[in-house]
C-alpha cells in the first residue's frame, strides 16, 4: 500500500469567474496540484483525469444554471461512486446545498470564499479520499490472498485443493475432477492448464451432456466433407483444436459407448480418425475430465468402460461443495458483489444485519453457481444503499409468510399439472437454475424441457 499522506493531492476545480479561479490556485498552492476548467463542457473533459478531489461551482456556462453543477456532480458519481466532490455556490437557497448532498457531494460551502474555511473542508475531503483508496487497496489485497487464479476461497478444503492443483499442474497426467454441479470444475481445469507447460497452447472445453448423441463423434473427432448429410465441408474436432494444449471433457459420464470406445483409442494411441476420414491424425493433448456422477458405480453397472475409467482418472481431485466450505461464503459474496456492480454499473452496497447469516445458513444445493445467481439478482434489483433481508429471494428470507393453503384441484388434469409444475421447479432449483442439468436429471430432452418451462412460465 502506498503512503501518500505527505504528497500533494490533485484537485479538479471548475469555476467560471477568472478572478476567483486565480485566487483558488494561489490558496491551494503547495497542498494541491490544481487542474482547472471554466465551464461545464471543459470540466467534463477533465473528469477522467482521476483527481483526488473535485471542487465545482453550481452555476456554470454554457447555460449559467445550477443544473450545470448538479450535472457535473452526477457525472462524476456515476463514473466513480466513491469520488469525493465538494460543491460551492453563492446561492442563499438551502435547497441547493441539500440537493448537492443528496446527489453525493461530500460537503457544500457558500461564497464569498474564505480561504481558511475552504482549506479545512478540502483537507478533510482529501483525508476521506485517501481513506477510501486505502480501504479499496486493503480489499484488493484481501481478495488476492483469498483467491487462486480465478478460484476464490480461504477455507481448509479449498486451500487443500489449491495445493493439489499446484502439485498436479506441472505433470502431463490425466486428471479426473469430481464434484457436484456448480462447484467450479471448469475453473479448476483452467487453473491446472494455466499452471502447466501447455499454458501457451489452447484450452478447449467440451460439455458431454450438451452433445447430442448423433453429433458427439463429429464434435470430438471432426468429420470430412460428405461424411453425413449436411457435412458440406471438412471440419476439425475438439481434439485437433486442443493440439498442444488441454482438452477438458465435462460430464464425461454422459458419453455413449461408441464415443467412449473412440475416446479410449485417442488416449492410448494419441491419434484420432475423423468421421469419413481415411487416415489417422496425430494429436497431442492433456486430458482433464469431470463428472458429478459416481463413475465407479457406473463401471460396476456396466454403463461405463472400466478400461477408460482407469485411463482418465490417473489423478482424481475432489472439489468440495459449498456446504462444506461455508467460511468461504462471505468472501464469495464480496467477490461477486464487486464483479456484478461493475458489470451492471450499479453502486456498491453494504449487506444489512442478518443477510450474511441467512446466506451462510442456506444449503446451496446449486453450489457456487446458485450463490452467484443470487448475488447478481441482489445487485440488479435491491434498492437503497443497504441490502436488507426483504431483498433476498423468498427461499432465503426470514419470517416469510407461510404459503396459503392449497385448494383441491378442480380435476385430475389440474392435479397432474400441479404435480408437473412442482417437480420441474424443484429440479431447476436443485440444478442451480441450469435447465439443461434439470433436464438431464429428469431424463427429458431439450425440446421437452423448453416446452414445459414455457407451459408453466418457469
pLDDT per residue as tens digits for the range 305-329: 999 999 999 999 999 999 999 999 9
Q: Is 123 left (phi over 0), alpha (psi -120 to 50) or beta?
A: alpha
User: Strand, coil or helix: what is 179?
Assistant: coil
Q: What is the pLDDT of residues 64-86, one digit of tens each?
A: 898 999 999 999 988 888 889 99
Q: Report how far residue 241's alpha carbon sits from residue 272's, in angstroms, rounded to the nearest whole number.
A: 12
Question: Among 435, 433, 446, 432, which Cα is nearest to 213's?
Answer: 446
Burial class (CB in 10 A: 0-12, 13-18, 19+), 126: buried
Contact between residue 285 and residue 245 where contact means Cβ atoms under 8 Å apart: yes
pLDDT values of the chain reduced to their tens digit, one per residue, 458 residues: 444 555 688 999 999 999 999 989 888 888 899 999 999 999 999 988 889 999 999 999 999 898 999 999 999 988 888 889 999 988 777 888 888 988 889 899 888 878 888 888 898 888 888 887 776 666 555 544 445 778 988 899 999 999 999 999 999 999 999 999 999 999 999 999 999 999 999 999 999 888 887 788 999 999 999 888 888 899 999 999 999 999 999 999 999 999 999 999 999 999 999 999 889 999 999 999 999 988 998 899 899 999 999 999 999 999 999 999 999 999 999 889 988 988 888 887 888 878 888 999 899 989 999 999 999 999 988 887 788 888 888 878 754 433 444 455 556 666 777 777 778 777 877 776 677 777 888 888 777 777 777 676 66
Question: Among 431, 421, 359, 427, which Cα is nearest to 388's?
Answer: 359
Range 28-35 contact pairs with CB under 8 angstroms and sequence separation of 24 or more: 28/119, 28/122, 31/119, 31/122, 31/123, 32/8, 32/122, 32/126, 33/8, 33/9, 35/10, 35/11
Q: What are phi and psi of 120, to 5 degrees?
A: -60, -45
Question: Among 191, 145, 149, which Cα is nearest to 170's?
Answer: 191
> 323-396: what fold?
Helicase, Ruva Protein; domain 3 (1.10.8)
Q: Report how far residue 97's alpha carbon sits from residue 280's, in angstroms, rounded to the nearest whole number.
A: 77
**Could you say which architecture CATH assigns to the domain 151-320?**
3-Layer(aba) Sandwich (3.40)
Overall pTM surpassing 0.75 (yes/no): no
> 9-143: what fold?
Rossmann fold (3.40.50)
Residues of the chain with pLDDT > 70: what percent? 90
**Element (H or E) spanning 34, and its range?**
strand 32-37
State the cell numbers at 343: 458489470
Amino acid at each position: 500500500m502506498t503512503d501518500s499522506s505527505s504528497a500533494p493531492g490533485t484537485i479538479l476545480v471548475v469555476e467560471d469567474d477568472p478572478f476567483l479561479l486565480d485566487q483558488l490556485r494561489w490558496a491551494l498552492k503547495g497542498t494541491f496540484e490544481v487542474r482547472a476548467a471554466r465551464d461545464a463542457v471543459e470540466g467534463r473533459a477533465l473528469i477522467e483525469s482521476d483527481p483526488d478531489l473535485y471542487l465545482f461551482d453550481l452555476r456554470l456556462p454554457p447555460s449559467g444554471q445550477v443544473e450545470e453543477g448538479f450535472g457535473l456532480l452526477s457525472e462524476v458519481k456515476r463514473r466513480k461512486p466513491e469520488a469525493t466532490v465538494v460543491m460551492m455556490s453563492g446561492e442563499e437557497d438551502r435547497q441547493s446545498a441539500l440537493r448537492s448532498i443528496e446527489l453525493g457531494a461530500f460537503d457544500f460551502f457558500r461564497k464569498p470564499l474564505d480561504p481558511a474555511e475552504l482549506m479545512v473542508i478540502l483537507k478533510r475531503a482529501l483525508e476521506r479520499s485517501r481513506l477510501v483508496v486505502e480501504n479499496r487497496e486493503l480489499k484488493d489485497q484481501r481478495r488476492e490472498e483469498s483467491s487462486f487464479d480465478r478460484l476464490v476461497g480461504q477455507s481448509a478444503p479449498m486451500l487443500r485443493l489449491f495445493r493439489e492443483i499446484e502439485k498436479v499442474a506441472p505433470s502431463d497426467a490425466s486428471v479426473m475432477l469430481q464434484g457436484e454441479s456448480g462447484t467450479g470444475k471448469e475453473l479448476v481445469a483452467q487453473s491446472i492448464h494455466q499452471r502447466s507447460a501447455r499454458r501457451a497452447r489452447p484450452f478447449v472445453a467440451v460439455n458431454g451432456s450438451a452433445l447430442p448423441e448423433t453429433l458427439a463423434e463429429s464434435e470430438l473427432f471432426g468429420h470430412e466433407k460428405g461424411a453425413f448429410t449436411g457435412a458440406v465441408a471438412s471440419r476439425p474436432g475438439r481434439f485437433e483444436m486442443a493440439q498442444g494444449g488441454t482438452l477438458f471433457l465435462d460430464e464425461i459420464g454422459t458419453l455413449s459407448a461408441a464415443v467412449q470406445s473412440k475416446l479410449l483409442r485417442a488416449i492410448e494411441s494419441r491419434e484420432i480418425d475423423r468421421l469419413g476420414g481415411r487416415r489417422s491424425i496425430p494429436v497431442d493433448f492433456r486430458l482433464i475430465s469431470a463428472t458429478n456422477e459416481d463413475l465407479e458405480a457406473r463401471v460396476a453397472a456396466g454403463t461405463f468402460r472400466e478400461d477408460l475409467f482407469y485411463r482418465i482418472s490417473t489423478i482424481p481431485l475432489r472439489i468440495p461443495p459449498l456446504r462444506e466450505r461455508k467460511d468461504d461464503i462471505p468472501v464469495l459474496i464480496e467477490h461477486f458483489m464487486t464483479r456484478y456492480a461493475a458489470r451492471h454499473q450499479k453502486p456498491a452496497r453494504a449487506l444489512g444485519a442478518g443477510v450474511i447469516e441467512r446466506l451462510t445458513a442456506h444449503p446451496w444445493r446449486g453450489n457456487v453457481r446458485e450463490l452467484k445467481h443470487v448475488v447478481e439478482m441482489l445487485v440488479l434489483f435491491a434498492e437503497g444503499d443497504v441490502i436488507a433481508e426483504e431483498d433476498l429471494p423468498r427461499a432465503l428470507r426470514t419470517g416469510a409468510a407461510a404459503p396459503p393453503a392449497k385448494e383441491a384441484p378442480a380435476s385430475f388434469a389440474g392435479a397432474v399439472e400441479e404435480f408437473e409444475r412442482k417437480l420441474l421447479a424443484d429440479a431447476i432449483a436443485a440444478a442451480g437454475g441450469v435447465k439443461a442439468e434439470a433436464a438431464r436429471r429428469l431424463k427429458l430432452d431439450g425440446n421437452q424441457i423448453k416446452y414445459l418451462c414455457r407451459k408453466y412460465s418457469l
